[in-house]
Structure 1
């Protein structure tokens, strides 16, 4: 078990977590080539040392020099490591091809291909390509022989040629696979960026939506205070109501900003057990003045022990949006019923109003399309964002939402959320 781990550690020398996918693959590829070539050349050294001792010694020296490339990579001297490896390999192959012509031609061709793929600056590519080309061509035009070197057998030349071509093909295939994976990662990152942008838009939309309604109500009340004759007692009561509503708005805004700060990298859900009756009452209290203004009665039928498993701030946003819609489209002196029942794994919640209702042809698109702002039964202006945000947040909390409605008969919103 230790051997694969140690090998993997060697192949990952010089790679940092913050490196891009392409850089990681380039470094790993360079390490793989360094290790595999060094091993192969060491093997060639042992094969050659008996019949071709000079070539065998050159193999051992070249392989030792190439191993030093890993040291450069470990110190993050990546370009130096690449040049060192290619130069060491080039000198070794050129030397062997000089004293024993035609034995390393395909290895030299593979080296050119490798340099073109690995090196980034054109000057280094040109220098190495010229050097390798000279190492291939010059021995063909020189008439010389070394008496201490035996003639290389034909089958050995064929083996070297085949092995050189195999290395070239494998290298090309590996680099192509890296390119394909890199393209896939680019597409994946692009999708993640699109999702992040969409989530950030939703976050800002949630903040805008949750500020809009209570601020509008407070503005309306302040306008009434400044524009009409009221008794001192009524003015005092109205000022207290405005102060309470603005204080609640400030608390909600602080909660939303804190939540947004934690969600700047995308919508993040941190679910926990929430006592449903408690959070419904708290949400209704923050909207109390608006319900009183429209004289809407609230009927709550939720057992104290029922809970949902959801992100508390997200669930509050869901509730506030749905109650805001129910309030907006209820007729004055109307009734809104909030009920809940505990199932085996889910808690079912319904919010029912007896207001204007929705035509069936519009229901399907409510959760998926941002609409033009609509107006409630008392002229309350919406944002067109509410139900789109609700659907987004309910999905994030592994729940579902449905609408049942008939024109002039009211609307029922049905939510299912996990209870554990």
Structure 2
């Protein structure tokens, strides 16, 4: 039963149009057009049964008109014209029905109320009172006309029971249509409200990310550059020993390297936020793609007295974007070096797991247990200084998550109960058929 209900609502929303296609009032208008067509289709056989053939004919003609108005708005996108015709046609139809269906002694007044409710639901706010006053004037004028000239509105019911059946049926029809209309309006309103709340939350998140980026530029990026400037001024002004000069050069290199990594991450993240991710996935040999960067990582780790152990299956062919994959691995290893104490160990491996390439970066940590949160993959998380007071802004892991998922992959981590943590990345491997084809082309 829930599946049938969900399916029916899906069909109904498809008929009304999506949120991206039409505003709320237009979708409500489409609903009212469809409801009116269904209600008039029900009234056609009913009016024939109670001896009102001309009312049935008018109902059929107006039902066809409302179906045309739905097409005019939903397909041709001429909603304002369709709404105007709907309001005019609704009043004209019930004026005709008033004379054909016993006037005040029939159910027409109830339908005039329904018409006014539907008009108020779809027309712009500035036109509310125009159509309300028009409705009141028409109903009052028709009552006065029947009172003054009763011969103009003859009794159309051949039997009194037909009158009771018609009015009772009209009451239930109007109540059902009104309730369904208000239900749809309320449902669409709730949908719009939730959408607005989601957009507000997204804008709040984007504003926080913007403030975070400004903080990076104003402080975290400027501070290391100021340190580099101070180091260079010290080297040119002060007479220092070779040991002191070597120490300053080492600090200068570390600061420059950290600043460059930070700048690369900021530029990559800014580009992805402003322009969106535009890239191409291609087959890559993992060993060939990462072997050169690994030599640099080994030297960086050695400068901190950390042993970096590397294990890469030379036959691994992964479907990825080369630049994005290098950025992911670079940030993960840089983080491992940053949070591993001197004398520690880092293991990087890339192995086959079924039809996936499984990357792992495991570090021995600082010697103390660490508890990581999933917030580390989001920009609003706080960054932590490394074991040698390396600075960071937490942007690297944000990029790792964004770029990994963009390559149809997955990233997660595990914290060691004693010390250290392990980060894992999975990406799809090139199919065996594609590997054979590539090897054939290479041998040719």
Same fold at TM > 0.5: yes
Flag the 1:163–1:145 CA change in 2: closer, same or farther, 3 A.
same
Q: Report deviation, 1:325.
A: 2.1
RMSD after superposition: 5.1
Query: What are structure 2's unaligned runs of at least 5 residues?
Result: 1-10, 430-444
The match for 2:117 among 109, 113, 125 is: 113
- Paired with 1:92 and 1:147, the residues of 2 have a C-alpha distance of 11
* 3-state SS in 1 of match to 2:386: coil
1:401 counterpart (392, 399, 413) = 413
Structure 1 residue 357: Cα displacement: 3.6
Structure 1 runs not aligned, ≥5 long: 1-7
Which residue of 1 is the match for residue 424 of structure 2? Answer: 415
Shift of 1:24: 4.0
Q: Say if 2:325 is the partner of 1:323.
A: no
SS class of match (1:134): helix
> What TM-score do you get using the length of structure 1 for normalisation?
0.70
Measure the CA separation in 2 of the matches of 1:183 and 1:94: 37
In structure 2, relative to structure 1, the CA distance for the partners of 1:415 and 1:82 (3 Å cut) is same
Report the Cα offset of residue 331 of structure 1: 3.8
Is the counterpart of residue 85 in structure 1 residue 89 in structure 2? yes
Cα gap change, 1:90/1:42 in structure 2, threshold over 3 Å: closer, same or farther?
same
- Per-residue CA deviations over 1:222-267 (Å, capped at 9, x if unaligned) read 5433312589x9999999999999888776655444333343xxx8
Partners of 1:269 and 1:173 in 2: CA distance: 51
| Structure 1 residue 107, shift from structure 2 partner | 2.8
CA distance in 2, matches of 1:64, 1:281: 72
Which residue of structure 2 aligns with residue 102 of structure 1? 106
Q: Distance in 2 between matches of 1:147 and 1:328?
A: 92
TM-score by length of 2: 0.67
What per-residue deviation string (whole Å, max 9, x for no partner) do you get for residues 48-76 of structure 1?
A: 9xx77876776677667767745864433
Residues 318-327 or 306-315, more deviating: 306-315
Aligned to 2:286: 276
Alignment deviations for residues 75-122 of structure 1 (CA, whole Å, 9 cap, x no partner): 332441232222222322333356684353433343343334344423
Select between 96-105 and 398-407 the one with higher mean Cα deviation.
Answer: 96-105
Higher mean C-alpha deviation, range 374-383 or range 101-110 = 101-110
Tell me the equivalent position of 1:3. Answer: none
Segment of structure 1 superposing worse, 200-209 or 324-333? 200-209
2:195 matched to 1:191? no
Distance in 2 separating the partners of 1:256 and 1:371: 15
Whether the 8 Å contact between 2:307 and 2:346 is mirrored in structure 1 is yes
* Cα shift readout 1:112-139 (whole Å, capped 9, x = no counterpart): 4333434442322332331354267447
SS in 1 for 2:416: strand
The equivalences for 1:35-114 within 5 A come to 35-36=37-38, 39=41, 69=69, 73=73, 74=76, 75-76=78-79, 77-97=81-101, 101-102=105-106, 104-114=108-118
CA contact (8 A) 1:329 1:356 kept: yes
The structure-2 alpha-carbon separation of the partners of 1:130 and 1:162, relative to structure 1 and needing over 3 Å to count, comes to: same
Check if 1:300 corresponds to 2:297: no
Which position in structure 2 is the counterpart of 1:4?
A: none
SS in 2 for 1:305: coil
Q: Give the total of aligned pairs.
A: 401
Decide which of 30, 34, 52 is 1:32's aligned counterpart: 34
Tell me, in whole angstroms, the C-alpha distance in 2 between the residues paired with 1:167 and 1:18: 32
Tell me if structure 1 keeps the 8 A contact 2:305–2:342. yes
Rounded to whole Å, the distance in 1 between the matches of 2:176 and 2:272 is: 51
Distance 1:247 1:106, change over 3 A: closer
Contact persistence 1:211–1:249 (CA under 8 A): no
Q: Which range moves more in the overlay, 58-67 or 21-30? A: 58-67
How many angstroms apart in 2 are the aligned matches of 1:295 and 1:217? Answer: 23
SS of the residue aligned with 1:378? coil
Three-state SS of the structure 2 residue aligned to 1:406 is coil
Q: Distance in 1 between matches of 2:159 and 2:316?
A: 87
CA distance in structure 2 between the partners assigned to 1:79 and 1:25 by the alignment: 12
Residue aligning to 2:234: 227
Partners in 2 of 1:274 and 1:201 — Cα distance?
Answer: 36
Does 1:336 pair with 2:349? Answer: no
Please tell me whether the aligned partners of residues 302 and 341 of structure 1 are also in contact (alpha carbons under 8 angstroms): yes
2: CA distance between counterparts of 1:55 and 1:353?
83
Kindly indicate whether residue 131 of structure 2 is the aligned counterpart of residue 129 of structure 1: no
CA distance in 1, matches of 2:210, 2:314: 31
C-alpha separation between the residues in 2 aligned to 1:149 and 1:351? 89
d(CA) in 2 for partners of 1:373, 1:148: 85
Query: Greater shift after overlay, 288-297 or 313-322?
Result: 288-297
1:183 Cα offset (Å) = 0.6
